[in-house]
Amino acid sequence: MIFTATALAGAFLIDLERNEDERGFFARSWCQEEFAAHGLNPRLVQCNISFSWRRGTTRGMHYQVEPHAESKLVRCTMGAIYDVILDLRPASATLGRWLATELTAQNRKALYIPEGVAHGLQTLRDETEVFYQMSEVHHPECARGVCWDDPAFAIEWPWVEKRIISDRDRSFPLWRP
């Protein structure tokens, strides 16, 4: 795996290191030892899949607070997403900053999201699937979110004619530091 630090402290883009031959390729997509060696949370306790029928589906901005804060490894396995992370960690040098990257089934990149960083996405194609590896099981009492279009962050989402977003995600509050 090839780990590339991003502009948000503790967040990494992870590329596959392919071993190719005439059949195709083989690559490691997860290694506890390599994650730990890069200072990332190597704990893996739950995997989730989200599937969206339509382009323009927006999910987020989600995170989970202590005592069940979670890190995530996010990969698009079908279609394409505009993946957004937002640093909400009070002691972070990058507090309030966001970063976006395109994850696709073709580029096979993954995004590592540390604890305290909110996550959201917008599908760029119909029939898009996202695979999540989580360091913590879901605890509804610790689930939080901030408004996906909060002016305090000015996240630059791709334009879509029709945005599809859940009532829950629409109801998240504006951020209060």
| Res 177 pLDDT > 90 | no
Between the alpha carbon of residue 14 and those of residues 3, 38, 107, 112, the distances in Å are 5, 11, 11, 7
| Res 51 pLDDT > 80 | yes
Which residue numbers are catalytic?
Answer: 62, 132
What domains can you pick out in the chain, each with its CATH number?
2-17+29-170 (2.60.120.10)
- Give me the helices (H) in the chain, please: 32-37, 167-170
Q: What's the farthest any 2 CA atoms get from each other in the chain? A: 54
- pLDDT at res. 132: 98
Average pLDDT over residues 40-68: 97
Contact criterion met (CB below 8 Å) for 51 and 129: yes
Burial class of residue 76 in the structure, from the number of CB atoms within 10 Å of its CB (0-12 exposed, 13-18 middle, 19+ buried): buried
- pLDDT at res. 63: 97
| Res 176 pLDDT > 90 | no
Average pLDDT over residues 144-152: 96
pLDDT tens digits along 130-147: 999 999 999 999 999 999
- pLDDT at res. 96: 96
